[in-house]
């Protein structure tokens, strides 16, 4: 017994008392698996549509690196935001606010995963892909989480770029450079992110206010948010058609993008019209915003599937 | 003089600490072995490409 005691510090034992279990699932939660699944999916599509061939083992390593990099950014984000996470219903159940993982452990975990992901993709494919992956992690942590999120209502507009990097990484992993098509995929995801998050922010608005985050519905009000969602959906449609217009994607993709874009505008219009008063308060208990949020997830998934199917159709 | 010594650590806390450390060590071992396997596979493929 005395040997055991002599091998540990008092702080370690106290921490063990505070955190009686160490469940691996808490560490998985720290990596934001739902965000990770979308990141992996868009990264995989970037890899599929890229011209050329990649060995399946190296391709798998690249996708694994993108997943680890996304998890790393999520863990560091949860470390930095744990003070405000405990104030919002959506995030209060995360491992750090729940007292299941110590903040510094989460930070260490995130830093190690960041290094591992960048090293892995660099050694498996090339250092252009590694650089873009490192940039995306730095952007999400440094630009979005630490700089913009608590300071400006434009947080999600600029910070959203972090989530748009994966197709660039997948493409660079195969080709070793950045092409026009992944840049357009970046632009599409970049323009998709604000209406996606603002739809969510409309119906969890009070939580953001409580945490002091200047999300658009908090700082500019629901009326302006509804207008911005509509504006972004109107810009998103022509930009999403550019790959076909420029001859970088085929008609299969073009038709799907057109239909999906029209659907997005219809949902955005419903959100815009859902105003009971001059302030833009919802008349329908934010049902249109909830539908728009769910549709935005469907939109991005099917759009990227269309990119992959289109590339397969064109090459076979 | 006796006030300078911290109170003894309860056995249940020590057991909790040991269980937690064992779990983390095991997870670290698995992660390291997985990484070694991945890097081995990558090295084999890349060397094969250079032949």
Contact assignment for B20 to A124 by CB distance below 8 Å: no
A236-257: pLDDT as tens digits? 999 999 999 999 999 999 999 9
One DSSP character per residue, chain A reads -HHHHHTS-HHHHHHHHHS----HHHHHHHT-HHHHHHHHHHHHHHHHHSSS---HHHHHHHHHHHHHHHHHHHHHHHHHTHHHHTTSTTTTTSTTTTTSS-HHHHHHHHHHHHHHHHHHHHHHT-HHHHHHHHHHHHIIIIIIIIIITTT-TTHHHHHGGGGG-HHHHHHHHHHSS--HHHHHHHHHHHHHHHHHHHHHHHHSHHHHHHHT---HHHHT-HHHHHHHHHHHHHHHHHHHHHHHHTTSS-HHHHHHHHHHHHHHHHHHHHHHH--SSTT---SSTTHHHHHHHHHHHHHHHHHHHHHHHHHHHHH-
The mean pLDDT value for A36-65 works out to 95
Between residues A76 and A52, which one has the greater pLDDT? A76
From B21's Cα to the closest Cα of chain A, the distance in A is 9
pLDDT (0 to 100) of residue A253:
96
Among A12, A61, A116, select the one facing B17 at the smallest CB separation: A12
Q: What is the mean pLDDT of residues A289-305?
A: 97
CA dist A191 and A175 (Å) reads 25
Query: In chain B, what's the furthest Cα-to-Cα distance?
Result: 73
Whether A17 and B41 lie within 8 Å, measured CB to CB: no
Count CB neighbours of A77 within 10 A.
23
Whole-angstrom distance, CA of residue A275 vs CA of residue A76? 38
Q: What is the pLDDT along chain B (51 residues), one digit of tens a residue?
A: 455 777 777 888 888 788 878 888 888 899 999 999 999 999 999 888 876
Q: For the whole prediction, is pTM greater than 0.80?
A: yes
Arithmetic mean of pLDDT over chain A: 90
pLDDT over threshold 70, residue A10: no
What are the contacts of A280-286 at 24+ separation with CB within 8 A?
A: A280/A221, A280/A222, A280/A223, A280/A224, A280/A225, A280/A226, A281/A222, A282/A202, A282/A203, A282/A222, A286/A202, A286/A203
Please state which of the ranges A13-27, A83-97, A150-164, A228-242 shows the lowest mean pLDDT: A13-27
pLDDT at res. A1: 41
Judge whether A210 and A273 are in contact, CB under 8 Å: no
- Res. A3: pLDDT tops 50: no
How far apart are alpha carbons A100 and A26 in whole angstroms?
7
Q: What is the pLDDT of residues A114-129, one digit of tens each?
A: 999 999 999 999 999 9
* pLDDT recorded at residue A74: 96
| pLDDT at position A19 | 54
Q: Which residues of B touch A65 (CB under 8 A)?
A: none
User: Which residues in A have their CB inside 8 Å of a CB on B?
Assistant: 1, 4-5, 8, 10, 12-14, 16-17, 19-22, 24, 27, 55, 57-58, 61, 64, 116, 120, 123-124
> A with B: how many residue pairs have Cβ under 8 Å apart?
50
| CB-CB neighbors (< 8 A) of B29 in chain A | none
CA-nearest residue to A101 within chain B is B20
Instruction: Nearest by CB to B16, from A1, A5, A16: name it.
Output: A16
A223-242 mean pLDDT: 96
CA distance A58 to chain B (A): 6
Asked if B41 and A57 come within 8 Å (Cβ–Cβ), the reply is: yes
Across the range A63-70, mean pLDDT stands at 97
Interface mutation vs chain B, best among A6, A20, A130, most B CBs within 10 Å: A20
Extract the tokens encoding A147. Answer: 């700089």
Q: Pick the closest to residue A229 from A189, A202, A262, A256 (CA basis).
A: A202
Taking any CB pair shorter than 8 Å as contact, residues of chain B touching chain A are: 6, 9, 11, 13-14, 16-20, 23-24, 27, 35, 38-39, 41-42, 45-46, 49
Asked whether A169 and A136 are in contact (CB, 8 A), the reply is: yes
Distance CA A294, CA A78 (A): 24
A154-195 pLDDT per residue, tens? 888 888 888 999 999 999 999 999 999 999 999 999 999 999
Residue A73 pLDDT: 96
Is residue A9 very low, low, confident or very high in pLDDT (cuts 50, 70, 90)?
A: low
ipTM over 0.85: no
């Amino acid at each position: 017994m005395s040997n055991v005691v002599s091998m540990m510090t008092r702080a370690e034992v106290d921490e063990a008392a505070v955190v009686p279990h160490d469940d691996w699932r808490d560490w998985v939660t720290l990596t934001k698996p739902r965000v990770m699944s979308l990141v992996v999916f868009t990264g995989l599509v970037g890899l599929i549509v890229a011209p050329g061939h990649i060995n399946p083992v190296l391709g798998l390593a690249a996708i694994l690196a993108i997943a680890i990099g996304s998890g790393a950014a999520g863990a560091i984000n949860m470390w930095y935001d744990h003070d405000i996470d405990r104030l919002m219903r959506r995030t209060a159940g995360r491992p750090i606010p729940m007292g299941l993982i110590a903040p510094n452990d989460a930070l260490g975990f995130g830093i190690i995963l960041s290094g591992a992901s960048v090293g892995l993709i660099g050694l498996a494919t090339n250092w252009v892909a590694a650089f873009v992956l490192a940039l995306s992690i730095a952007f999400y942590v440094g630009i979005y989480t630490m700089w913009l999120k608590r300071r400006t209502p434009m947080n999600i507009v600029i910070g959203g770029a972090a989530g748009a990097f994966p197709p660039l990484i997948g493409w660079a992993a195969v080709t070793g450079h950045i092409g026009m098509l992944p840049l357009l995929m970046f632009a599409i995801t970049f323009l998709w992110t604000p209406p996606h998050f603002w739809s969510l922010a409309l119906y969890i608005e009070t939580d953001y206010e409580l945490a002091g985050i200047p999300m658009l519905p908090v700082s500019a009000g629901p009326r302006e948010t509804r207008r911005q969602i509509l504006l972004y959906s109107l810009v998103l449609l022509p930009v999403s058609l550019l790959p076909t217009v420029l001859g970088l994607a085929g008609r299969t993709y073009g038709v799907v993008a057109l239909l999906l874009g029209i659907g997005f505008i219809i949902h955005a219009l419903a959100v815009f019209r859902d105003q009971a008063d001059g302030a833009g308060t919802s008349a329908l208990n934010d049902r249109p915003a909830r539908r728009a949020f769910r549709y935005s997830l469907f939109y991005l998934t099917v759009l990227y599937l269309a990119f992959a199917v289109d590339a397969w159709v064109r090459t076979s | 003089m006796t006030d300078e010594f911290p109170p003894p650590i309860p056995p249940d806390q020590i057991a909790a600490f040991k269980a937690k450390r064992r779990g983390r060590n095991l997870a670290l071992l698995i992660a390291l072995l997985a990484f070694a396997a991945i890097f081995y596979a990558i090295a084999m493929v890349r060397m094969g490409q250079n032949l």
